[in-house]
Amino acid sequence: MNRAQSDAIGFVLVFSLIVLTVGTVYAAGYPALEEFRTGEQLENMERAFDVLDDNLADLARDGAPSRATEIKLNGGRLAVNGSTTVTVNATTTDPVRGANFTVSDEGTPITYREGDTTIVSAHGAVLRQDGDAAVMRSDPGWVIDDEHALIPLIVTDRTGDRVAFGGSSTVLVRGQVTGRGVAGEVVAAAGDDVTVTVTVASPRADAWGRYFEAEGFTAVDGDPADGEVTYRFEVDGVTVQQTTVSVELEG
């Protein structure tokens, strides 16, 4: 009788320990697994936006009339919304080709939002914002050295009936070129420089500021608190190319 009671008590204790262990692992491990899964999904979305960015660059660089990118959603929301404005001012005292100019382009970024994370394609760059902090994952493709600056601006806007898609659907992001050309160009005389001032107004101005600093630009207004940064650099000549792309989302 005592042996049977001991066996029963032992079984209860072992079973209770198993239940406690499983419960502890579930309580502690499940959120970690969910966080890992979400992180992987966002990394996959970043890679999808890299492909999207390459396709948009083809429109500006290779003269392609249109490109389409398929993106698989993972519970977030894909949209063409918001605003990013890039303004380029170029001046020199003695231009030998072209003329002093100011180009200001406001684009509507392509965005994917899940939780407090937003991945964005804007003016040829891919950015990621987690909460209030943003980083630039791939730069806008500007080519700048001591002699010349080539600044390709890819300006996206929305077309079509659908503003956004959510859930787990697969979305086709179709870009159609509606305009392209040289928006401004100036070359300085020998011994002179072209002063180029760039201002970016964006919810992710901090990421743009860090990109400009990494490129060695001089801060005119490097504080992104007001959603805008301004930087300056000098070269012998500068060309700004503008490609306008209408973006349509298709489910």
Q: What is the DSSP string of 28-76?
A: HHHHHHHHHHHHHHHHHHHHHHHHHHHHHHHHHHT--SEEEEEEE-SSS
User: What mean pLDDT comes out for the span 212-225?
Assistant: 96
Domain of 184, in residue numbers: 38-250
Query: Would you say residue 245 lies in a domain?
Result: yes
What type of residue is 148? H
Q: Answer whether residue 136 shows pLDDT above 80.
A: yes
Query: Would you say residue 187 lies in a domain?
Result: yes
Q: Could you read off the pLDDT of 156-172 as tens digits, one per residue?
A: 999 888 888 988 889 99
Query: Would you say residue 19 lies in a domain?
Result: no
What is the tally of structural domains in the chain?
1
Q: Could you read off the pLDDT of 31-62 as tens digits, one per residue?
A: 554 554 556 777 889 999 999 999 999 988 88
Please report, rounded to a whole number, the percentage of residues in the chain having pLDDT higher than 90. 68
Q: What is the mean pLDDT of the chain?
A: 88
Residues 6 or more apart whose CB falls under 8 angstroms from that of 193 comprise 92, 234, 235, 236
Handedness of CA 202, 203, 206, 210 (dihedral sign): negative
Query: Would you say residue 25 lies in a domain?
Result: no
Query: Would you say residue 29 lies in a domain?
Result: no
Chain centre to alpha carbon of residue 140: 9
Distance CA 216, CA 138 (A): 17
Q: Could you read off the pLDDT of 10-19 as tens digits, one per residue?
A: 666 666 666 6
Burial of 183 (C-beta count, 10 Å sphere; 0-12/13-18/19+): buried
| pLDDT classification of 20: cutoffs 50, 70, 90 | low
Entry pTM: 0.82
| pLDDT classification of 129: cutoffs 50, 70, 90 | very high
Residue 207 near residue 127, CB atoms below 8 Å:
yes
What's the confidence (pLDDT) of residue 247? 95
User: With helix as H, strand as E and coil as C, how does 175-234 read?
Assistant: EEEEEEEEEEEEEECCCCCEEEEEEEECCCHHHHHHHHHHCCCEEEECCHHHCEEEEEEE
SS3 82: coil
Query: Would you say residue 153 lies in a domain?
Result: yes
| pLDDT classification of 183: cutoffs 50, 70, 90 | very high
Q: Could you read off the pLDDT of 83-96 as tens digits, one per residue?
A: 999 999 999 998 99
Query: Would you say residue 23 lies in a domain?
Result: no
Residue 42 near residue 113, CB atoms below 8 Å:
no
Cβ atoms within 10 Å, residue 104: 13
Residues 6 or more apart whose CB falls under 8 angstroms from that of 75 comprise 41, 114, 166, 167, 168
User: What mean pLDDT comes out for the span 220-240?
Assistant: 96
Query: Would you say residue 27 lies in a domain?
Result: no
Handedness of CA 126, 128, 133, 138 (dihedral sign): negative
Cβ atoms within 10 Å, residue 18: 10
Please report, rounded to a whole number, the percentage of residues in the chain having pLDDT higher than 70. 84
| pLDDT classification of 240: cutoffs 50, 70, 90 | very high
Q: Answer whether residue 104 shows pLDDT above 60.
A: yes
| pLDDT classification of 30: cutoffs 50, 70, 90 | very low
User: What mean pLDDT comes out for the span 169-191?
Assistant: 94
